[in-house]
Structure 1
Amino acid sequence: MIRKKIKQSFRNFLVTRVVRRTNLILIVSSGRTGTKFFEFFFKNVFEKYPVYHEPKPDLFDLSFQKILAEVSDEGIKRAIFSYRSKLIGNFYSNKDLVKYAFFKKPLYVESNPFIYPVLEEFSSNFRSTKYLFITRDFKTFCVSAYNKDPQGDGKNDFYGISDRRKRITAKDLGEKLPWEWKNLNRIEKIAWYWNMSNRHLYYGLKNKDYIHLNFEDIFNKDKNVQNEAITRLSSFFGIKILEPNSLSTIMRTKINKSKQISKINSINDLDSKTQDRIDFLTKEMREILGYRPIK
């Protein structure tokens, strides 16, 4: 029994040391921007290191608590360390833990659209952090988000009445809208969320080590545009350019596509009044990020 406790204590020491020495890569966005794809991409690049998309717990609730100021910054930091050190520790063998605790620099990659409120607390647990910030034009984001099935129960109800996750609202942030939150329809609430989450990321990443890429460039049908985006990404993270065939296979892989049940196919499916309201709700970040008006 004593020997078992000693072994566990030594393993805990190794895991803590590995996490503190780890270089972190965070892929962040509003969601519906290919974050699941980047788990696949980085796993092909960093085969020896843990790479995850929205690992459990996905920190959605913790981020919500941060916005509502229900948990201290230090409490959030400790919770993230506990969750992610367990994940990282389970990935490595004892031999690997010793290697990364004392000799080689470890790496951890997480792709997660829910962590925009807790960037500071997340990164403070690691040796260094680099960010990939992905944005998507609301004109196509809204179609993907509206058609999203958050619970995997066949219901496209992101920000809908039957959405089982309690999502952040304008009321939670004390924002005053020209119309009351309850009077916004689902697509208008999605528009508010797109603007709010991108605002958090845009200002939260200032003075941090990050690269901003557009969804439209990464998944562009024009291979020159796509290759330029991947080259920028690879250069920023010090990634060796993949072989053309391997890169083509990765880029052709479609991941996390929405099941379209109750759907819209285009922003043009929306009536003119709704488009005007969406234009207002997204104007701030569309202008900052360089996206054109809705109409």
Structure 2
Amino acid sequence: MQNKKLWLLSLILIFTLSACQNDDSAKGKEEPGESNTATEQNENQTNDNQEDSQKQNQQENQDDEKQEEESNEQENNEKNIPDRFENEVPDENGIITVLEPKATDIVVNKKRKLPDGYVPPNLVYPDIPFSFDEKIDKRKMRKVAAGPIEELFKGAEEAGIDLVAVSGYRSYATQKAIFNRNVQQNGEEHAKMYSAMPGHSEHQTGLTMDVSTVAVTFQLVEDFRETEEGAWLAKHAHEYGFIIRYPKGKEDITGYAYEPWHIRYVGKEMATEIYEQQLTLEEYFNLYPN
């Protein structure tokens, strides 16, 4: 009887231990759904981190590129500024008298004037068609610009473009008479926007020519740009060393109204840079108005 009780107790103990082991085994197993969800969460978190890292790298690269562009632009501007500009000192009215008026890269505007009594050297009559027959001063240009403008007119003719020269060199006295007449007819504010004060005119440098065409009856008007001749000039002038000196939309920088007819000789290399970058002469030399 005693042995029978021991045998039953042993059997009960065996069943109890077996049941505990099964429970522990069940608890140790993970549900498939729970395992997959945790894995997906980890993968999503990793992907999110990678995307954030990529975005941060892209932003950093863009910032670096922008800083590099700004640095290069500043370096280019500094390279463009001739040393003589640093020695130019404005007078009590803020007007600078240019130190080297014979330079082909001279900048003359409302804040920069030619020396008193200046007459450009080597004025010649370029062999190009004019809107008048008289052999007078406004036919003239400096020799350094006369050859290139002859080539420009030749190129235009070969392209079937009929350009006509209207006005080149003007003396100080002539510009003074033109400006004063403009003031009397239209008022000083209008005159300063459409006509240079004496001593401040690019025409006095001998590097400038106004051109037109029969389509606008040889007038100097904005409609010239809408003609075949005006379109050709805007597209090809730089190939011969000329720029459209007073472009549209840059009036606040040049100080003058848009003049699609007014071309200025600066040389092929500079003219090409100005054309490709869509700059004014002031912007090219970083000479912004105050």
Q: TM-score range by the shorter chain?
A: under 0.3
- Structure having the larger proportion of residues in helix: 2
TM-score by length of 2: 0.21
The TM-score, its normalising length taken from structure 1, stands at 0.21
Which structure exhibits the higher relative contact order, with contacts defined as CA atoms closer than 8 Å and separated by 6 or more residues?
Answer: 1
**Structure showing greater Rg:** 2
